[in-house]
Amino acid sequence: MARPSPEARLRGIERQREQVLSHPLARGLRTDEVARHLAGLPKRRFPSIRYAERERGMPLLQPRGGTPIFEEQLRLTRMLSDAGADFVPLTIDSCTRHNQYDTASQLLRRSEEEGKAYLNGYPLVCHGHELTRQLYTGLDKPVSLRHGTPDARLLVELAIGSGIAEIEGGGLCYSLPYSEGFPVDRALLYWQYVDRVCALYSTPERPIHRESFGPLSATLVPPVIAIVIELVELLLAAEQGVLSFAVSFGQTGSFIQDVATAQVMRKLAREFLDEHGFAAMQVRLVYHQWMGQFPMQRERAAALIAGSAMVAGVIDADKVVVKTVDEALGVPRPEVNAEAVDSVRYVLRTFGTPAGVDSPAIQIEAALIESQVRSVMQAIFGLSGDAFWESVYRAFQMGWIDLPFSPHADNANKLVTMRDANRSIRIVEPGAVPVSAQDLVTERALLATRSDSEQKTYRRMLADIALMV
Amino acid sequence: MVAEVAPVDPPRLVIGVIGDDIHIVGNRIMQLALEESGCRVFNLRTRNRPEHFVQAALEVNAHAVFVSSLNGEGEHWCADFRRPFEALGLGHVLLYVGGNVVVGSRPEPEVVSLFKSYGFDRVYHQRPDIGAAIIDLFEDLKHGASQP
């Protein structure tokens, strides 16, 4: 049996670290020099400082954005910051995410020569940490690294070396939705390295902040799966000494389920941390605006973004990651990203959100989700293994952690979900996910409220996926 | 409506996404839809090369192959798609392709005739529902492909 424990902290990381940093693209990065750079940054470059200043009901705002050419990324950074983004994003291209630095370098050169983007993000490893630092000269707010990298060891070393103090990702959340074949046990181990490096650069006043990616496949993911993955990654980071962490989830499409998910995620994150001896860790809640298929019409996209902003206010998210009206049409232009920040801010300011919105339906939903999450977490804690990460890996192998619509070849795909009449995501077939018989009865009773049961399953599922279109 | 009964029992189908394309959602829905219609589905999932489809069709003695492309790489990978099937004596296998099979917006007739020239029997470019393809499949299994 392997519960999370500070004893699981990686020892002898130095040799692995030497190997990672011996890569030519590490360009001789020296960790003592990076530590000095971090100590000299404005305090508000650290997310925990910014989070502590937040007003209730006013989530901090973060757009998305990354583009290959340095000057363009600089322009994007300034434009987003000027538009009122509380966190500035740095989204990494997909070649770098797959550790294909040669291809990324070639496409970067071609982008620079032709003045046109041939990469879908900023190739940080190719640009290096010294140049990337210059993106943020004089910036007084946190920068967030957004990627999707199963092996992010070199990338994260260079990101922190660039003065980026928020690192998104995790062994499960960055492999199951993004990779078809990256071995999940290796991804978990590589993310232990990342967590450890974040902890080594952290001081109590200036912690490197970690965030997990709860939207996952963004397709009919039931709250129990999102919350279990978030809690697992939170605890794995805590084991390595991370002091500041955000759990997150994507808008479910159901108001009731969003409110209930936020309640349970907050409550259990704190409880499990305290129970396992990690009371010092600060935990935040991040809400992602609708991550599924977006309407093509900009007016409808704008309405969806505004509605989603209201939900973010109601659940009092610590941060909301915003979408743009061009979501369905491709990578948004910087101007459109800046407008998105402004319109979400407008909704949050204009409609003050009341504290503690609740209802009997929300309570039923929250109790159901909490019971399911506890069942799965207790089952994982009970698995054999020398370390918690091994128990997590075994839980995945056995299909106890089963992500709907994951492209990963090792994902069980036995869990089947569908929406009920409230649009909440219900478990139709649990597969091997260890939820109780009683909770399944409740799930099916709630699903019975749905009226189109004479339709073929695949048609109902298509309707569920295209919910917002 | 989808024909209720498949003409052969059960039709054996190979499905999968071609290229370095990781879009899994449509693939999972297709598997579900085809199985609900009584087909035996051999799903190659994502990131396939043409030879994966040929090999699988040989192994399972497939009646038809459904190739998907969501990111538009299909145009590159599907060129001359039927030739390796013929080389292995599988020229009779029905070949269907669908999704967002080319990059950018191009007129549908142009896209259809391009993929027909690659040897596909039917082409479904940017169609939201697989229902029509299942009707076509059951029709084609009776007397060969008929799409003009």
Distance CA B7, CA A123 (A): 53
pLDDT tens, position by position, A284-334: 999 999 999 899 899 999 999 999 999 999 999 999 999 999 888 777 788
Q: Which residue of B has its CA nearest to A178?
A: B22
Instruction: Using a CB–CB cutoff of 8 Å, tell me whether A296 touches chain B.
Output: no
**pLDDT at A7 (0 to 100):** 87
- pLDDT tens sequence across A140-162: 999 999 999 999 999 999 999 99
- Options B9, B20, B23, B140, the catalytic residue: B23
Q: What's the domain range around A215?
A: 8-350
Q: Do B22 and A413 touch (CB under 8 A)?
A: no
The pLDDT assigned to B2 comes to 46
Question: CB-CB: which of A180, A217, A456 is closest to B36?
Answer: A456
Q: What percent of chain A has pLDDT over 70?
A: 100
Residue A430 lies in a domain: no
Is B140 a residue of the active site? no
In a domain, A88, yes or no: yes
> Can you tell me whether residue A89 is helix, strand or coil?
strand
* Structure-token pair, residue B4: 């209720």
Residue A100, in any domain of the structure: yes
Confidence check: pLDDT of B100 > 80:
yes
Query: What global pTM score does this model have?
Result: 0.92
Phi, psi dihedrals of residue A292, rounded to the nearest 5° = -85, -165
Task: Judge whether A212 lies within some domain.
Answer: yes
pLDDT score of A50 more than 60: yes
Q: Which residues in chain A are contacts of B47 at CB distance < 8 A?
A: 180-181
Residue B72: pLDDT over 80: no
Q: What CATH number is associated with residue A48?
A: 3.20.20.240
Enumerate the domain spans of chain B: 35-143
Buried b (16+ CB within 10 A) or exposed e, B12-46: bbbbbbbbebbbbbbbbbbbbbbbebbbebbbbbb
B49-74: average pLDDT: 93
pLDDT at position A328 is 80
Instruction: Give chain A's mean pLDDT.
Output: 95
- Pick B28's closest partner by Cβ from A180, A181, A405: A405
Answer yes or no: B52 catalytic: no
**Confidence check: pLDDT of B135 > 50:** yes
Residue B5: predicted pLDDT: 63
Judge whether A405 is closer than 8 Å to chain B, CB to CB: yes
List phi, psi (to 5°) of B122.
-140, 150
Would you call B45 and A409 a contact, using CB atoms and an 8 Å cutoff?
Answer: yes
In this structure, which amino acid lies at residue A366? A
CATH homologous superfamily of B35-143: Cobalamin-binding domain (3.40.50.280)
Instruction: Provide, as residue numbers in chain A, all residues whose Cβ is less than 8 Å from the Cβ of B23.
Output: 407
- Give which of B15, B17, B28, B31 to mutate to test A binding, by max A Cβ within 10 Å: B28
**Which two tokens mark A195?**
């967590």
Residue-level pLDDT at A386: 87
Please judge whether B46 and A407 are an interchain contact, meaning their C-beta atoms are less than 8 angstroms apart: yes
The verdict on a CB contact (< 8 Å) between A409 and B22 is no
- E strands, A78-162, where? 88-91, 143-146
Is the pLDDT at A106 greater than 70? The verdict is yes
What pLDDT was estimated at residue A190? Answer: 97
Residue A359 lies in a domain: no
pLDDT at B148: 40
Up-side HSE of residue A142: CA atoms within 13 Å toward CB?
29
At A357-404, the pLDDT tens digits run 899 999 999 999 999 999 999 999 999 888 999 999 999 999 999 999
Shortest CA distance from A466: residue in chain B: B128
Cis peptide, bond prior to residue B10, ω within 30 of zero: yes
Residues A259-281 pLDDT 10s: 999 999 999 999 999 999 999 99
Q: Give the pLDDT confidence score for residue A340 in this predicted structure.
A: 93
pLDDT digits (tens, 9 = 90+) for A62-88: 999 999 999 999 999 999 999 999 999
Average pLDDT over residues A55-65: 93
How many Cα atoms occupy the beta-carbon half-sphere of A411 within 13 Å?
Answer: 27
Q: Which of A152, A151, A153, A149 is nearest to A177 (CA)?
A: A149
With a threshold of 0.85, tell me whether the complex ipTM lies above it: no
Structure token pair of residue B48: 């396939």
| Domain presence at residue A413 | no
- Report chain B residues whose CB lies below 8 A from the CB of A120: none
Taking residues A35-55, report their average pLDDT.
97
Total domains, chain A: 1
Distances (CA, A) of B7 to A220, B33, B60: 34, 17, 18
